[in-house]
Amino acid sequence: MKSPTRRFHQGATLIEISIVICVLLALMSTSLYFGSQIKEWKAGKEAAEQLRGVYAAQRMYLADHPTTAVTSLTSANLIPYLPNNPGVMPTVLSLDDDELGINVTVSPPVLTLGNAVYDPSGSSSDSLWDAGE
């Protein structure tokens, strides 16, 4: 009587291939999610840097003109005081690529979209989309 021999197939079963594909899809979707979050964070940090530059210009202007009220400031007043003297006010884009304005009549200055303050982070002290406190 012969003992039964086992055959070993070289290759993967359908279940093994399906598991590998599912793991790859999960990894890809996770990386896409975190990639978009990093892009939003980077945009917020860049906006905050621009806004801090305007805030520094605002403080330097007010130091040179101590009788000027913050509410009477204009962008033209601050342009000569901006870091690296760019000659124009910096531009900031929202997460939807809308151009944001900078309200220089408040201290610290804020980003605006239309007439509303723009800060998608929801906090005015996190230094994302704002000059922080």
pLDDT tens-digit series, residues 48-63: 899 999 999 999 999 9
Q: What percent of the chain has pLDDT over 90?
A: 34
Residues forming beta bridges with residue 99, ordered by sequence position: 93
Terminal alpha carbon distance of the chain: 88
Q: Report pLDDT digits (tens) over 74-122.
A: 999 999 999 888 888 898 888 888 899 999 999 889 999 888 888 888 8
- Predicted TM-score (pTM) of this structure: 0.72
Q: Any idea where the domains of the chain sit in the sequence?
A: 15-117
In this structure, are strands 92-93 and 99-103 parallel, antiparallel, or unpaired?
Answer: antiparallel
Q: Please tell me what DSSP assigns to residue 67.
A: T
Polymer length in residues for the chain: 133
Report the pLDDT value the prediction gives residue 21, as an integer from 0 to 100: 93
In this structure, are residues 102 and 112 in contact, taking their beta carbons and an 8 Å threshold? yes
